[in-house]
Amino acid sequence: MNTPDIFVATCDLAGQVRGRGAPREAYDSVLRSGLGWVPANLGISAFGGIAPGSAFGSTGDLRLMPDEASEITIPNSPNDSGLKVLLADQTQPDGSEWDCCPRTFLRRAIKDFRELTGLRIIATFEHEFVLEGLPQSAPFSLRRHRDADPFGTDLLRLLTDCGLAPENWLPEFGAHQFEITVEPSDPLTAADRAVLLRELVRDLAIRRGLRASFAPLQEPNGTGTGVHVHISLVDDGGNPVLFDASRPGRLSEVGARFGAGILRHAEALTAWTAPSPVSFLRLAPDRWSVGGIFLAERNREALLRICPTSSAGGSTPDHQFNLEYRAADATANPWLTLGVLLRAGLSGILGGHEYPTPQVFPETAGPAELKDVPQLPRTLEDALLALEKDQTATSWFHPDLLTTYLAVKRYELAQLSSLDDSARVRAVSDVY
């Protein structure tokens, strides 16, 4: 079998995977010196065109420097050729770091978190998506699971062969909705897997005559489709540090402080983690997404949920214990999503009295107990304004990256501004 050709890829501010291809014979050269790229590409909107107000114009050059550890191979099929895909850092022409590269942003966040806390992060992204082209079926049903074959079986095999380590593949609640989870890993690997998983799902769906969409909604009042980011912390010996049976919610002091940072900067975070023109139609009370900015045990409307643990089979809770951030969707760049969560969590750990220990709401907390919790922004524009006002959050970014991001997001809002909610939802669904 011939060796597949190469595609060197990055994920941009619109959460789109873009890059350049090369013939298989150039593999060693590409791995050594990368492929050309330009800064202005960072300003491309999800709907096409470069955003007015981007920090970059017609000058400047970059390199896409592939990371061999990220390499996957999409295999040949009877009607399609295979392809090697490598994720890349956007660098200066001499290979040095470029301050506006999203993957570099995450790398630096990981490094700072490690150096300033002595702790390591374990993370994973849990994805939902809609698979159109199947018969109607009931939520969570065996029928839906079977109707998705051979796509489902092929997807598990493809993800396994590509090293993405799938855990669960299941029919979900919404119409034609499914969920795929992968094993936890170090944070860069977790975000790389999230970038690749979306592309692999969409590519396989097309090959099977289906259409996969990771958009946050398929209709304005329909079931939402989100991305849940799971995070745990371990020490140098790999011992979990989030669990403390003596504390509220069994969440350790360092875990509570990490959570305090995310809650404190939640409004600004959502500008990065739920960044499409329709994302905030999903993030509302009573939609099983995020009903408010609070930390709670096993509550699926909490911004930050303490996940359940199981004692079945003699399992212990400490290694299972993790926090789930629920205000994300697949219109966001995974490197930036995880990077801002780590930055916020680090701010909470280091911030002292400026970040008071948050209340942990028990699973039994109802509307009366939660009536005064703060709410998320109601629109993307509100989230962007919150980001601009949050001096701590804006300090995490090079000014050119922040300027370009704000320009891209506001351009996307403007591009859909003449549409009603239904048409805006469809436009986003078609892209994602």
Residue 86 shares a structural domain with residue 125: no
Output the DSSP codes for 331-357: TS-HHHHHHHHHHHHHHHHH-GGGSPP
d(C-alpha 45, C-alpha 407), whole Å: 9
126: which strand partners? Answer: 228
Q: Which CATH number do you get for residue 77?
A: 3.10.20.70
Residue 167 shares a structural domain with residue 197: yes
Q: Which of 83, 98, 113 is the last residue of a domain?
A: 98
**Domains held by the chain: number:** 2
pLDDT score for 77? 79
Residue 322 shares a structural domain with residue 403: yes
Residue 286 shares a structural domain with residue 393: yes
Residue 159 shares a structural domain with residue 47: no
Please name the residue that has the structure tokens 């980001």: 387
d(C-alpha 23, C-alpha 4), whole Å: 8
Q: Which CATH number do you get for residue 220?
A: 3.30.590.10
Residue 206 shares a structural domain with residue 62: no
Please name the residue that has the structure tokens 């436009």: 427
Residue 82 shares a structural domain with residue 159: no
Q: Which of 32, 67, 98 is the last residue of a domain?
A: 98
- Which pTM was predicted? 0.97
Residue 39 shares a structural domain with residue 152: no
pLDDT score for 78? 76
Residue 289 shares a structural domain with residue 154: yes
CA 272 to mean position of chain CA atoms: 9
Q: Which of 98, 125, 154 is the last residue of a domain?
A: 98
Q: How far is CA 385 from CA 12, 271, 380, in A?
A: 21, 9, 9
State whether residue 210 is helix, strand or coil: coil
d(C-alpha 227, C-alpha 273), whole Å: 9
Q: Which domain holds residue 256?
A: 105-431
pLDDT score for 300? 92
Residue 168 shares a structural domain with residue 222: yes
pLDDT score for 81? 85
What is the maximum span of the chain, computed from C-alpha positions, in angstroms? 65
pLDDT score for 314? 87
pLDDT per residue of the chain (432 residues) written in tens, 0 to 9: 467 899 999 999 999 999 999 999 999 999 999 999 999 999 999 999 999 999 999 999 999 999 999 999 999 877 778 999 999 999 999 999 999 999 999 999 999 999 999 999 999 999 999 999 999 999 999 999 999 999 999 999 999 999 999 999 999 999 999 999 999 999 999 999 999 999 999 999 999 999 999 999 999 999 999 999 999 999 999 999 999 999 999 999 999 999 999 999 999 999 999 999 999 999 988 888 899 999 999 899 999 999 999 989 888 999 999 999 999 999 999 999 999 999 999 999 999 999 999 999 999 999 999 999 999 999 999 999 999 999 999 999 999 999 999 999 999 999 999 999 999 999 999 999
Residue 114 shares a structural domain with residue 88: no
| Joined tokens for residue 59 | 């000058």
Considering only CA atoms, which of 282, 274, 259, 283 is closest in space to residue 376? 283
pLDDT score for 2? 66
Residue 425 shares a structural domain with residue 355: yes
